[in-house]
Amino acid sequence: MGFEKEDIQEKYNCVVNEERAIEVISAALHEYESGELGFFDGKNQVEEEYVNFLIEQGESEKFIINALFLLTTVTFGSSSSVFFNRLSKDPEVYKKYRWLFVPSEVVESKFIVSEDEKEDINNEEGGVIEFNKAWKEYLRPMGRQGASMHGWYHNCSVLCEAYNGNVIEFLKKHNNDSQIIRDVLQVSIGAKSEQKEFRRLGPKLTPLFLQWVGRYKLHDLVNLEDFGLPVDFQLCRIAVQTGIIEIDDDIYRADLAYKIFLPLVSKLCKEFNWEPRLVSEALWVIGSMGCTKDQRAIAPYYTCPLKPHCNGVLHKLDKDYWKFSNMEKIGKKFRRWEQDRLL
């Protein structure tokens, strides 16, 4: 993915400040690795606590990688942190629903498409287990996350049919090469998920899964530095708040994330030998746990490594971040800093 600054600025009617991007990312990485200001103390990645819980339950790397592969498709939107916090870490509750992460057991359950099918299910008398009910009870999806239920079942079916129910076999089939795996999994922007072997893995979720595999050392992958990084609203808001990208007109969310910011960051990672995973993790924590609605109550701003570069706080936009606009059009959704206070 190339980065042609002049072409991007002309096409999307924006200004890309590459020097500011270098300053911002450098500051974020320095604090993330040194802990000098204490900003990242107690602030973990969204999935970290649950992965540690699985490890504590004695789960194997094979099991955990299967679980993360399936959970990736439910990890999207602004509710991802809430979603992972809602996953029960009670060992007894977990034992009851553990089978949801075992593809061979998932395909033995019944995915209910119509009410007529539901009438044939009788769990109490040893009948077929209803997948839909168990999935909703344990995962407790919010908003659009519920739409990923069908993809979860489909992906388990594919894993059983083609890879003995084992994500690692899928990775091995593609030479454990992160770039190849990304291209095989990733659905292009605007394309239908059904065009791919596995469902619901787009340009954010595919690199997120690969990032998790590398972060938790679940399987040896090559080219981990070259598959890109997940870009969501939290990273986009940082690009706008710090002036890395100055918008003159509306820019679609997907374009800002994948056509402008991602190519820029990928270019800089190569130039400065930055590890994409660390860039992603540092910026995500800052955007999700630093850019809060009530700055004075939680006071993350005063230890934020991006404080010298930040112009204000961009809050949730209309239509689920469908578009980003210039500051005038954003209006009250952007609260500007002035003398360490939000206006």
Are 126 and 207 in a shared domain? yes
Q: Is 20 a residue whose pLDDT tops 90?
A: yes
- pLDDT at residue 107 greater than cutoff 90: yes
Q: Does the residue 223 lie in any domain? A: no
Does residue 10 sit in the same domain as residue 65? no
pTM of the model: 0.89
Q: Tokens for 78?
A: 């602004």
Question: What pLDDT, in 10s, does the model give residues 214-266?
Answer: 999 999 999 988 777 898 888 999 999 999 999 998 898 889 999 999 999 99
b/e 197-206 (16+ beta carbons within 10 angstroms → b): ebbbbbbbbb
Do residues 252 and 319 both lie within one domain? yes
What's the domain count of the chain? 2
Task: Count how many residues are written for the chain.
Answer: 343
Distance CA 64, CA 302 (A): 37
Same domain, residue pair 39 and 53: no
Residues 16 and 96 in one domain: no
Q: Could you say which of 148, 179, 212 is where a domain stops?
A: 212
Q: Are residues 14 and 100 in the same domain?
A: no
Q: Is residue 206 domain-resident? A: yes
Q: How would you class 127 by CB atoms within 10 Å of its CB: exposed for 0-12, middle for 13-18, buried for 19 or more?
A: exposed
96, two tokens: 């009851």
Same domain membership, residue 204 and residue 119: yes
Q: Kindly state whether residues 197 and 55 are assigned to the same domain.
A: yes
Q: What is the pLDDT of residues 86-102, one digit of tens each?
A: 999 999 999 999 999 99
The tokens describing 176, both together, are 């454990």
Q: Which domain holds residue 75?
A: 48-212
In terms of domains, do 27 and 131 share one?
Answer: no
Whether 218 is covered by a domain: the verdict is no
**Residue 220 falls within a domain, yes or no?**
no
- Considering the domain boundaries, does residue 266 fall inside one? yes
The reply to whether 192 and 270 lie within a common domain is: no
DSSP string across 103-160: HHHHTTSB---SHHHHHT--GGGT---BHHHHHHHHH---GGGGGGHHHHHHHHHHHH
> Are 75 and 200 within one domain?
yes
pLDDT at 288: 86
pLDDT for residue 320: 46
The verdict on 206 and 263 lying in the same domain is: no
190 is a domain residue: yes
Question: Domain ends where: 158, 177, 212?
Answer: 212
